[in-house]
A and B are shown apart, each in its own frame.
Chain A
Amino acid sequence: MAKKSFAAKIRNEYSQLLVPLVALALIILFNLFRDPGFFSISLAKNNLGNTVLQGNLISTLNGASELAILAMGMTLVTAACGGQDISVGAVAAIAGSVFVKVLRGSAGVTPLTVALGILGGIVVAMLFASFSGTLVAVFKIQPMIATLILYTCGRSIAYWINGGATPTVESPIINSIGSFIPGIPIPTPILIVIVVGILFSLLFRFTNLRLYTQTVGINQGAARLNGINSVGIKLLSFVLLGGCCAIAGVIGVSRLGLINHETLLLDVEMDAILSVAIGGNLLGGGKFKMSGSILGAYAIQALTITLYAMKVPSTDIKAYKAIVIILIVAMGSPVVKEQMNRLWKKLAGKGSAAKFRREAA
């Protein structure tokens, strides 16, 4: 009995992750079939003389960092508000611009100024996000409409912060944020994703963020009658997403030591929303699994890297991406899930019947 309920628990809790995991597995298998050495990892010395890890696996994990962080925040907003923030790229550009502005405005790039810059970026991004959040939570505007405002004007604001097309900042500190910390062979953005992930899990461990967010997302009226401040929870989800945008923006800037307000994390909002969807989360809000979204982000990135490696012509790449994504999303659709469930039950039913017969005999 206990064993059975444990199995049921596993199925309840983790069946949601099946889709992104299968998607990832298929992409990986496809690549292994195509090129057995695709995921080989090697050590090399970079131009700064550090020993670093290299390979497509590292590139995938590294390249998906910003997306993974944004997907985490997007999951929360989706769960609480039943809608998506389409301004994450623009807000990240604003935060990145603030980061660059602080660094260029101060005498030199020191750990202190970098910390100040990151803090400034986070604060500003949270302010902008809470603007969107207020429209959603207080004025009850649909999230996509509310965030359309910043989606439209956010990059202009980012331009206005620094002026100029592509201001640059050069420093070993910036390089160690966007590339490698001397002595550590793993790309720093991967480490940052881990840190953000840990922060979120601590938040879920030591606060009721998950319970409140899900409750508000599922039944706002009932949440209120149980004493939950749903406006506050929605606002909080946006503020946390703002923080994620800032971190993603800082990573994006640090990778190259340059901010291009027009292209920094361009179109990332669609990928972030897609990550949430691939992760098996309901875009209408309610129950969520952040790990699903993170896996979704890596699946998208793995797909992109695969297409690059296959040298799919640049003009076709988006079409191929779309096809694969349709497949993944269809895999997670209720209709297909229902069919899979039936199949599963059939198999399980046969298994237990056989077991029953054995026991009877």
Chain B
Amino acid sequence: MENGVVLSMRNISKSFPGVKALQNVDFTLRKGEIHALMGENGAGKSTLIKVITGVYPRDAGQCFVEGIDGDVVIHSPEEAQERGISTVYQEITLCPNLTVAENMYIGRGKYNFVKWKDMEKKAGALLDSLNIPARPKQQLGSCSLAVQQMVAIARAVDTDCKVLILDEPTSSLDDKEVAMLFKLMRDLKARGVGILFVTHFLEQVYEVCDRITVLRNGELVGEYEIEKLPQVELVAKMMGKELEGLSEIKSSDKAVDSGTPVYQAQGLSSSDAKPFDFKIARGEVNGFTGLLGSGRSESVRAIFGADRVTGGHVTVEGKPVKINKPFDAMKHGIGYLPEDRKRDGIIADLSVRDNIILALQVMKGFFKPFSAAEKEKFADEYIKALDIKTASADTPIKSLSGGNQQKVILARWLLTHPNYLILDEPTRGIDIGTKTEIQRLVLKLADDGVSVTFISSEIEEMLRTCSRLIVMRDRNIVGELRGGQLTQDQVMRTIAGGAE
């Protein structure tokens, strides 16, 4: 084995029924480097990680770990840890009601502390050395998400950790927290730990990583040093095609003031949203923006009747209507793709087909089920139209990748042919290719006369797609931007309150 290499995977192959998840993939991790594993959804990133950590047995290939002679076969994450390979997942898997120190040591065979004091002392020392701003006796739940993430990392690296795998650790952190996490990662790097970093955020890759390995469709595209791979080329390699100018896709401004609005609300409020006014014209794409917790999701939920509606007047196509529950909204041609796909969107155990037809079926009525042939037709049509990658329409949606799940939910609402479609964070946690597809789709819908409300945490994305932005702060609408005002700078200032 090469000098300075801590983990080397050679010719790894792994397939699942109907899918070749990995084919002859090589991956090399060196001592003291941060190595990004990049690829679109379904590229094989998760599978590779699961093969490394022993969650899945590999079908073929070899694995070498520093300090161990010959091919290493790892059967379980516990065994991986014993061999110096630790993993921290996207969702924090610690216990919020235990203390930081308890979370770091409990349930680990080696550390059967008899004295709590000893355990706390040891935890304190480790936290200090890693500059993690947490006290050992503090309850974990009282720490910020970033600190919890860091405690999870501390737990992972405490043993003789040679390889640390971070699977999307930054997806729920804000910029400041990300910076804290990166500092910790650099510290660990300085100690000689090899870090495998998986993320969807390109900027973060370029900020912190030394090398990039790109996978596509279960195959290795290549391993690159960061300086030699410009961002545009990285995207091209991930997607397997030359990047089109993303900024070119921009909707034309539809005059919201002329004609009858498709949807109009006055003083609409719900259990979670303060009263607000809102209207949208035919074929318009508008956005709600603001920081997390600014009330943007709550507002669109009120439009759809997702929370308990407490007041307001609503007209659809100029006619006064009552929308108290989602079914009312659906009857009036409104569709809603919820923010939290896992919790509110997918029906995990049901097939892709059932997930696609669900909303249209509910609108048609309890006593009027579609025939098997009709369902088949609808599902096939949209699987093809949105290029949903699934083994078959019978596959449970839970076994699809995140981006494809999102496409299924999107298909569900497109199938209802809505007049007004609300998309709350449709591109979160999705690879770039799918993101662009969804953005294009939104604009195509608008061209076809569908009104769309689009919410995203990425302002850039909203600027690309929306012709009008409603800015919210502290649960109130604080501004409305359009035309020339739609610049990143202007949006930021409005959110921050500088534009007034």
Residues in A lying within 8 Å of B, measured CB to CB = 5, 8-9, 12, 205-209, 211-212, 214-215, 218-219, 221-229, 286-287, 345
Contact = CB atoms under 8 A, between A and B. Distances in A.
Contacts of A225: 304, 306, 326, 336, 338, 344-345
17 contacts: A9-B392, A207-B367, A207-B369, A208-B368, A209-B366, A214-B347, A215-B354, A218-B349, A219-B343, A219-B347, A222-B346, A223-B347, A224-B326, A225-B326, A225-B338, A227-B362, A228-B362
B349 A286 contact: yes
B358 A206 contact: no
Given A207-B366, A219-B346, A227-B327, A8 B361 contact: no
A222 B326 contact: no
Contacts of A223: 347
A7 to B, nearest CB: 10
Contacts of B126: none
B325, B326, B367, B369: most-surrounded residue (chain A CB, <10 A): B369
B347 A215 contact: yes
Given A226-B358, A227-B359, A227-B362, A211 B394 contact: no
A287 B366 CA distance: 18
A186 to B, nearest CB: 32
A208 B366 CA distance: 5
Interface string B361-392: 11101111100000000000000000000011
Contact of A215 (B345, B358, B368): B358
Contacts of A218: 347-350
B265 to A, nearest CB: 19
A226 B338 CA distance: 10
A212 B354 CA distance: 10
Contacts of B343: 219, 221-222
Nearest to A285: B349
Given A221-B343, A227-B326, 7 more contacts: A9-B394, A212-B366, A215-B350, A225-B345, A226-B326, A226-B359, A345-B17
Given A9-B394, A225-B326, A211 B344 contact: no
Contact of A227 (B18, B345, B363, B369): B363
Contacts of A214: 347, 349-350, 354
Nearest to A204: B369
A205 B370 CA distance: 10
A208 B361 contact: yes
B330 interface: yes
B15 to A, nearest CB: 9
Interface residues of B, number: 33
A345 B326 CA distance: 43
Interface of B: 17-18, 304, 306, 325-327, 330, 336, 338, 343-350, 354, 358-359, 361-363, 365-369, 391-392, 394, 412
A206 B359 CA distance: 18
A208 B369 contact: yes
Contacts of B392: 5, 8-9
Nearest to B345: A222
A212 B363 CA distance: 12
A212 B366 CA distance: 8
Contacts of B330: 226-227
A23 B349 CA distance: 25
Contacts of B363: 227
Contacts of A226: 326, 330, 358-359, 362, 412
Contacts of A227: 325-327, 330, 359, 362-363
**Shortest beta-carbon contacts, A-B, top 6:** A227-B327, A227-B362, A227-B330, A208-B369, A287-B349, A218-B347
Contacts of A212: 362, 366
Nearest to A228: B362
Contact of B348 (A9, A219, A228): A219
A231 to B, nearest CB: 11
A212 B365 CA distance: 11
A287 B350 contact: yes
A124 to B, nearest CB: 25
A361 to B, nearest CB: 21
A81 to B, nearest CB: 16
A316 B346 CA distance: 48
B362 A8 contact: no
A211 B349 contact: no
Contacts of B368: 208
A228 B357 CA distance: 13
Given A206-B367, A222-B346, A226-B358, A8 B18 contact: yes
B369 A211 contact: yes
Contacts of B18: 8
A205 B369 CA distance: 8
Contact of B344 (A206, A207, A222): A222
A5, A207, A219, A286: most-surrounded residue (chain B CB, <10 A): A219
Given A211-B354, A219-B348, A222-B344, A8 B366 contact: no
Nearest to B329: A227
Contacts of B304: 225
A8 B369 CA distance: 24
A206 B371 CA distance: 9
B91 to A, nearest CB: 18
Contacts of B327: 227-229
A206 to B, nearest CB: 7
A8 B326 CA distance: 35
